[in-house]
Structure 1
Amino acid sequence: MAIVLLVRHGRSSANTSGTLAGRLPGVHLDDTGREQVGRTGARLADVPVVEVVTSPLERCRETAEAITAHHDLEATVDEAITECGYGDWQGRPLSELAQEDLWKTVQGHPSAATFPGGESLMAMQARAVEAVRAHDARIEAEHGPAAVWVAVSHGDVIKSVLADAAGMHLDLFQRLHVDPASVSIVRYAPQRPTLIAVNTTAGELGWLRAPAPAADAPVGGGAGPASR
C-alpha cells in the first residue's frame, strides 16, 4: 500500500503561448513555472519520499529537480510516463486545434480518439497506468507499505491514471482537472486504489509521514491522519 504523489510539471513556455507542446524538445518551465515547482518542492520537503520517477521531457525533469533538491535522491527517467504522442497535432496552437473534428471526440469520447500520426488516448492510459502500478509494486516491495514516491508527468497522462484509480471510464477523464505543479495522491491496495487527493496546489503534506492506513475502507469515513 505504497502511496504515489502524481505531480504535473510546472507551467511551461508552451502553456503560456497556447501551443500543444507534446514531445517537442526544448520546452522548458517559464518563470511562473519555476516558482510553482519551487513551492511544490517545499511542500514535499517534509514528506519521506523514497523515489522520484519522471517523464524524460525537460519541463518534467526540471520539476523533478525541484523535488529531489529537498531529498538525497536522483530522479529516475521513465519513457512510459511521457507526454501523449499527439503526432501531427504537436506544436500547433490550441485555438487552431479546437476547430478540428477530432477535438470534439477528444472532449466527449476520448476512448475513440487517436491523434493523426500519433498515439490513441487509450494507448496512453494503458502504458501510463501499467508503469505507475509497476513502479508502485516495486517500491512497496523495496521500501515497505508506508513508502511514498513521486511520479512527475503531464496533465492528460495524470488525468488518465487518476481515472483508472477512480474506476472511471476514460470517456469521463475530462471531468478531472490537473493544474501545473499540482499534487494528486493515490494509494494502491489489494482491494482497490484509493484517491486521497486530486489537484492540490497548497497545503501541508507532512501527514504522509504517518504509518500506512489499513487496507479496508473505514465504514463511516474514519478519523483521518492524526497530524492533518
Structure 2
Amino acid sequence: MATVILVRHGRTTANATGVLAGRLAGVKLDETGHGQATRAADRLAALPLAAVVSSPLERCRQTARTILGAQGAPLTLATERGITECDYGEWQGRALKDLAKEKLWATVQSQPSAAAFPGGESLGAMQARAVSAVRRHDAAVESEHGAGAVWVAVSHGDIIKSVLADALGMHLDLFQRINVDPASISIVRYTPARPYVLASNTHEGDLSWLAPRPGRRKSRRAPDAVVGGGAGPGALPPRP
C-alpha cells in the first residue's frame, strides 16, 4: 500500500493578517512560511519520495519546490486541481473578523455539510473532489512504484482536514475538530480494508520509519488492525 504525506503550505501574508485568501493570485509565503517549509522539507529528506503533487496555487507550489529541493533524486513537480483551495466565492479576500459576523459562519463551524459559499462551492463538494484526487494519485503511485511507496500532496488547511476526516470515517460535520497548521505533516495509508491515519498535524520528529525497506516480503493481504496496538513500525504483521 502506498502512503500519502499531506503537507499544508507554509504561512502566507494573508494568514498573518487574518485574510481568507482562497484562490486569489499573488498570495505567497512570508518569511516565517519559508522557514516552516524548509523545516518540513528537512523532515522529508530522509524519505525517497515517489512523487510530489501540489495544489496549483503559488503558496503550495513554493512549499512543494522546497520539499523537492531537499530530495536526493530529481523529481518533477505535478499539480492537481482536485486539491486546490476551496472556492470561497464572495468570501474570498475578506477579513476573517468580518466573516465571523456572517450568518453562514455559524453553519461552517457547526454543520459544514450544509455550508455553501455564495458564488463558490460547498464544503461537501470540496471534500468529494479532494478525496477523489488523493485516492486516485495514491493508487497510481502504488501501481507505478509498488507497495510501500511514499508520496507527498501539498495542499490547504480545509482540504487536508476534509481528507483526514474521510480517512478517519468522520462525518464532515465533525471536521472542524481537526487542526492542520501551516507546513504541518499528516500521514494516511490507504489499504483495501480501510485507510489508516498514521499522523496528524505534526511539526517535529523523524520520518525515516516510513521509508520502504529493501527485501521485505510484501503480502497481498490487506493488513488487519493489530489488537492492542501492536509493536510499532518495523514489526512483522500477524499471520492469518
In structure 2, what is the equivalent of residue 221 of structure 1? Answer: 229
Q: Which runs of 4+ in 1 moved over 3 A?
A: 210-214
**Superimposed CA distance per residue, residues 149-179 of structure 1 (whole angstroms, 9 cap, x where no aligned partner):** 0000000000000000000000000000000
2:208 counterpart residue number: 206
Distance in 2 of aligned mates of 1:53 and 1:221: 31
Q: Which whole-Å CA distance do the structure 1 matches of 2:223 and 2:10 have between them?
A: 33
Equivalent pair of 2:149/2:212 in contact (CA under 8 Å): no
RMSD: 1.3
Q: Secondary structure at the match of 2:50?
A: strand
Counterpart Cα distance in 2 of 1:154 and 1:7: 8
Q: Percent of aligned pairs with the same residue?
A: 64
Structure 1 letter corresponding to 2:108: V
Q: Normalising by the residue count of structure 2, what TM-score does the alignment of the two structures yield? A: 0.92
Structure 2 stretches of 5 or more lacking a match?
A: 236-240
TM-score of the aligned structures, taking structure 1 as reference length:
0.97
Tell me the residue number matched to 1:76.
78
**CA contact under 8 A between 1:9 and 1:59: conserved in structure 2?**
yes
Match of 1:139 in 2: 141
Quick check: 1:38 aligned with 2:38? yes
Counterpart of 1:204 in structure 2: which amino acid? D
Structure 1 CA distance for aligned equivalents of residues 116 and 163 of structure 2: 18
> What stretches of structure 1 of length at least 5 have no aligned partner?
none
CA apart distance, 1:70: 1.8
Q: Distance in 1 between matches of 2:5 and 2:197?
A: 11
Shift of 1:79: 0.7
Alignment correspondent of 2:101: 99
- Which residue identity does 1:103 align to in structure 2? W
**In the alignment, which residue of structure 2 is the partner of 1:61?**
61
| Contact 2:10 2:34 (8 Å CA) reproduced | yes
Supply the distance in 1 between the matched residues of 2:6 and 2:186 (Cα, whole angstroms). Answer: 5
Please tell me whether the aligned partners of residues 8 and 184 of structure 2 are also in contact (alpha carbons under 8 angstroms). yes
Does structure 2 conserve the Cα–Cα contact (< 8 Å) formed by 1:210 and 1:225? Answer: no
Secondary structure of the residue that 1:49 maps to in structure 2? Answer: coil
| Per-residue Cα deviation, 1:48-95 (whole angstroms, up to 9, x for no partner) | 211000000010000001111122112100111000000000000000
Count of residues in Structure 1 that have an aligned counterpart in Structure 2: 227
CA offset digits 1:28-48 (Å, max 9, x no partner): 000000000000000000112
Distance 2:37 2:118 in 1: 32
Contact 1:48 1:208 survives alignment (8 Å): no
How far 1:131 moved relative to its partner? 0.3
Q: Looking at CA atoms only, which structure, 1 or 2, has the larger radius of gyration?
A: 2
**SS of match in other structure, 1:218:** coil
Q: Please name the residue that 2:127 is paired with.
A: 125
Aligned-partner Cα distance in 1 for 2:36–2:112: 29
Counterpart contact for 2:52–2:151, Cα < 8 Å: yes
CA–CA separation in structure 2 for the residues paired with 1:130 and 1:187:
15
Q: Distance in 2 between matches of 1:78 and 1:17?
A: 27
The aligned residue for residue 179 of structure 1 is 181
67, 71, 87: which one pairs with 1:85?
A: 87
For the residues of structure 1 that align with 2:26 and 2:234, how far apart are their CA atoms? 44
Q: Note if contact 1:186-1:196 (Cα within 8 Å) is conserved in structure 2.
A: yes
What SS does structure 1 have at the residue aligned with 2:46?
A: coil
Aligned to 2:238: none
CA shift at 1:128, angstroms?
0.2
Measured in 1, the distance between the counterparts of 2:69 and 2:212 equals 22
